[in-house]
């Protein structure tokens, strides 16, 4: 069992992570929020690596959250109706069901990912972990990029199916 | 150009369509036509929006998971007894920051600003507000948070828009709090007319009213000094439930307060909190209410029965 000393990690890395995130041209507010989210993920994530990998874990998570932020902004820009775009992102009062991840949920998500058929998982991991495009994934796996795309769609659909049934059974969350 | 959008597939449910759109837009190689089709799809049906949000959520949830190898990692709870089973990771607080807002305060900050029309406004922690013009008079839109207004009557009418309604003043002192999709109007002196669609109510001094996107609540008597104590740097709780107290404290300090157990959340609390020293409040409560309070960094406090 990995049991990280979150307080020490926080003191050691918070400032560095904010600097790191800010280099991606993000406001201080946003950078701080992303770093906050990064540390909360540490607390809620069931599958932490050993603590000696903490630094790379923290940087990778923060980096993923930054990428997610920019992707969200990009997608929102396609939607013409501003109200609707607003609905797509966490709104003023993101209800816990919408944005919060409980430890159990993250565990279920981890399970869903771990039990994906190998060829689907490979595509998902390359896109998520390395931010690769379908062309790059296709090259790496020796498959047409269209196949990589189809597998991604399938992977997302399967994960969602697995996640859904237990959605409403979380224990009392305040 | 790779036309993934040409790929055949049976995307007949919102869920399958959402996965398709997410995968397509993730790559960044979509065409202008794809973007327009996506916009049409997502604007067409709330179910589509929900489904897309769910895929998006799965994706962002996976950002912190260990995907590098498939080996199962230790499954024991982070702390003894699965205590943190219901822990929350807050997400995108930053999205609260309306990028175009004219006035904003950071968490823990209080600030007084002068508005056009001789109105003085004191913004509570974590508040965003913009100037708006309309109805031939000065006004503001309160996007999020709480603001106390001191409106001198000789300067004409003034209005505050929030939660889809409008609060009209012809001079007076009042407070508007907008959290979630509800707004509460608390009047200290003179009166405020609250309009929501074609519903309307008058709130007089020492009274308050809460309204949601489509319903005006009843006007009720309040203790203004207690309710608006934040202006003087205090929070006053008189026999309020710990869950509500935690929610209000969260507005004034960074981080999340997690209460485990409904019975704990319902415990009654009476106390006065100094806003400059909120951090020590919960640990201090621990002894008095026999609760166990754990603080992990500045960002997470967990309260449970001792």
Same domain, B216 and B124: yes
CA gap A87, B180 in Å, rounded: 13
Positive or negative, the CA dihedral A80, A86, A88, A89 is: positive
Inside any domain, residue B27: yes
Task: Report the residue from A84, A124, A172 with minimal CB separation from B42.
Answer: A84
C-alpha gyration radius of chain A:
17
Instruction: Read off the pLDDT of residues B161-195 as tens digits, 9 standing for 90 and up.
Output: 999 999 999 999 999 999 988 999 999 999 999 99
List CB contacts (< 8 A) between B12 and chain A.
Answer: none
Same domain, B133 and B245: no
List CB contacts (< 8 A) between B96 and chain A.
Answer: 92
Among residues B180, B102, B59, B88, which one has the least CA distance to residue A69? B59
- pLDDT range class, residue A81, cuts 50, 70, 90: low
Specify which of A11-15, A44-48, A85-89, B93-97 reaches the highest per-range mean pLDDT.
Answer: A11-15
CA gap B280, B272 in Å, rounded: 12
Same domain, B107 and B178: yes
Q: What is the mean pLDDT of residues A87-116?
A: 63
DSSP-based three-state secondary structure for A135:
helix
Q: How many domains does chain B have?
A: 3
Specify which of A64-78, B90-104, B171-185 reaches the highest per-range mean pLDDT.
Answer: B171-185
List CB contacts (< 8 A) between B267 and chain A.
Answer: none
Q: Do A39 and B39 touch (CB under 8 A)?
A: no
Q: What is the mean pLDDT of residues B141-155?
A: 90
Asked if pLDDT for residue B207 goes beyond 60, the answer is yes
Query: CA separation (Å) from B90 to A36, A42, B54, B93, B293?
Result: 8, 12, 16, 7, 19
Same domain, B216 and B256: no
In B163-299, where do the E strands start and end? 165-169, 172-179, 182-189, 191-196, 199-204, 207-211, 220-221, 234-241, 256-259, 268-274, 291-296
Mutate to test the interface with B, among A40, A50, A115 (most CBs of B within 10 A): A40
- The pLDDT score that the predictor gives to residue B148 is 96
Question: Where is the domain boundary, B222, B246, B274?
Answer: B222
**Beta B158-162 vs B191-196: how paired, if at all?**
unpaired
- The pLDDT score that the predictor gives to residue B71 is 35
Asked if pLDDT for residue A170 goes beyond 60, the answer is no
Q: What is the mean pLDDT of residues B2-16?
A: 69
Same domain, B125 and B151: yes
Q: Do B78 and A3 touch (CB under 8 A)?
A: yes
Residue B21 and residue B38 in contact, taking contact as beta carbons nearer than 8 Å: yes
Q: What is the ipTM of this complex?
A: 0.82
- The pLDDT score that the predictor gives to residue A142 is 92
Mean pLDDT of chain B: 80
Question: Where is the domain boundary, B92, B121, B139?
Answer: B92
Domain that holds residue B214: 96-222
Same domain, B84 and B102: no
Mutate to test the interface with B, among A14, A39, A53, A75 (most CBs of B within 10 A): A75
Asked if pLDDT for residue B78 goes beyond 80, the answer is no
- The pLDDT score that the predictor gives to residue A88 is 55
Asked if pLDDT for residue B259 goes beyond 60, the answer is yes
List CB contacts (< 8 A) between B17 and chain A.
Answer: none
Inside any domain, residue B228: no
CA gap B185, B203 in Å, rounded: 8
Asked if pLDDT for residue B36 goes beyond 60, the answer is yes
Asked if pLDDT for residue A94 goes beyond 70, the answer is no
Q: Lowest mean pLDDT: which of A123-127, A146-150, B29-33, B286-290?
A: B286-290
Residue B170 and residue B190 in contact, taking contact as beta carbons nearer than 8 Å: yes
Q: What is the mean pLDDT of residues B46-72?
A: 77
The domain segmentation of chain A, as residue ranges, is: 6-88, 96-169
CA distance A46 to chain B (A): 7
Q: Chain-centre distance of CA B259, in angstroms?
A: 18
Asked if pLDDT for residue B250 goes beyond 80, the answer is yes
Q: What is the mean pLDDT of residues B100-124?
A: 85
Residue B304 and residue B259 in contact, taking contact as beta carbons nearer than 8 Å: yes
Helix axes B14-27, A54-76, angle to 10 degrees: 110
Task: Report the residue from B23, B61, B90 with minimal CB separation from A156.
Answer: B23
Q: What is the mean pLDDT of residues B269-297?
A: 80
- The CATH architecture to which A96-169 belongs is Orthogonal Bundle (1.10)
- The pLDDT score that the predictor gives to residue B19 is 92
Inside any domain, residue B133: yes
- Burial profile B175-187: b = 16 or more Cβ within 10 angstroms, e = fewer: bbbbbeebbbbbb
- The pLDDT score that the predictor gives to residue B255 is 78
- pLDDT range class, residue B216, cuts 50, 70, 90: very high
Same domain, B108 and B174: yes
Same domain, B152 and B57: no
Mutate to test the interface with A, among B52, B129, B145, B297 (most CBs of A within 10 A): B297
- CATH classification of the domain holding B141: 2.60.120.1440
Question: Where is the domain boundary, B197, B222, B247?
Answer: B222
- The pLDDT score that the predictor gives to residue B22 is 93
- The pLDDT score that the predictor gives to residue B6 is 60
- pLDDT range class, residue B20, cuts 50, 70, 90: very high
Same domain, B242 and B132: no
Query: CA separation (Å) from B229 to A97, B203, B232, B235, B253?
Result: 32, 19, 5, 6, 16
Among residues A58, A44, A45, which one has the least CA distance to residue A9? A58
**Beta B234-241 vs B103-104: how paired, if at all?**
unpaired
Residues 6+ apart with CB under 8 A from B75: A46, A107
């Amino acid at each position: 069992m990995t049991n990280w000393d979150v307080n020490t990690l926080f003191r050691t890395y918070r400032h560095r992570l904010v600097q790191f995130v800010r280099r991606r041209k993000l406001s201080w507010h946003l950078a701080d929020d992303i770093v906050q989210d990064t540390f909360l993920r540490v607390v809620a994530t069931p599958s932490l690596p050993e603590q000696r990998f903490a630094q790379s874990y923290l940087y990778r998570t923060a980096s993923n959250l930054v990428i997610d932020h920019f992707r969200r902004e990009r997608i929102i820009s396609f939607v013409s109706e501003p109200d609707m775009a607003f609905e797509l992102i966490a709104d003023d009062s993101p209800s816990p069901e919408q944005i919060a991840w409980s430890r159990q949920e993250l565990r279920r998500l981890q399970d869903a990912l771990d039990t994906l058929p190998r060829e689907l998982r490979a595509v998902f991991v390359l896109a998520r972990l390395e931010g690769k495009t379908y062309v790059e994934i296709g090259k790496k796996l020796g498959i047409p990029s269209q196949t990589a795309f189809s597998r991604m769609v399938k992977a997302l659909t399967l994960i969602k199916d697995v996640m859904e049934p237990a959605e409403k059974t979380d224990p009392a969350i305040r | 150009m790779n036309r993934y959008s040409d790929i055949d597939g049976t995307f007949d449910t919102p869920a399958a369509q959402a996965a398709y759109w997410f995968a397509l837009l993730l790559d960044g190689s979509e065409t202008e036509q794809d973007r327009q089709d996506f916009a049409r799809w997502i604007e067409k049906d709330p179910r589509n929006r929900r489904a897309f949000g769910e895929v998006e959520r799965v994706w962002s949830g996976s950002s912190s998971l260990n995907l590098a190898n498939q080996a199962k990692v230790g499954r024991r709870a982070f702390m003894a007894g699965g205590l943190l089973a219901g822990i929350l990771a807050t997400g995108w607080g930053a999205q609260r920051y309306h990028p175009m807002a004219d006035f904003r305060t950071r968490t823990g900050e209080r600030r007084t600003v002068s508005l056009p029309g001789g109105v003085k406004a004191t913004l509570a922690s974590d508040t965003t507000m913009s100037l708006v013009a309309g109805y031939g008079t000065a006004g503001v839109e309160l996007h999020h948070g709480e603001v106390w207004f001191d409106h001198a009557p000789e300067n004409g009418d003034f209005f505050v828009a929030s939660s889809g309604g409008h609060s009209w003043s012809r001079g007076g002192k009042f407070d508007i709090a907008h959290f979630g999709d509800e707004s509460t109007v608390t009047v200290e002196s003179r009166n405020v007319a609250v309009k929501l669609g074609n519903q309307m109510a008058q709130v007089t001094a020492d009274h308050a009213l809460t309204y949601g996107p489509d319903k005006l609540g009843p006007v009720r008597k309040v203790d203004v000094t207690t309710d608006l104590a934040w202006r003087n740097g205090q929070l006053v709780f008189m026999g309020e439930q710990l869950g509500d107290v935690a929610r209000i404290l969260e507005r004034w300090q960074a981080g999340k307060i997690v209460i485990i157990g409904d019975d704990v959340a319902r415990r009654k609390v009476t106390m006065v909190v100094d806003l400059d020293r909120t951090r020590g409040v919960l640990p201090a409560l621990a002894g008095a209410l026999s609760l166990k309070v754990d603080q992990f960094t500045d960002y997470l406090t967990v309260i449970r029965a001792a």
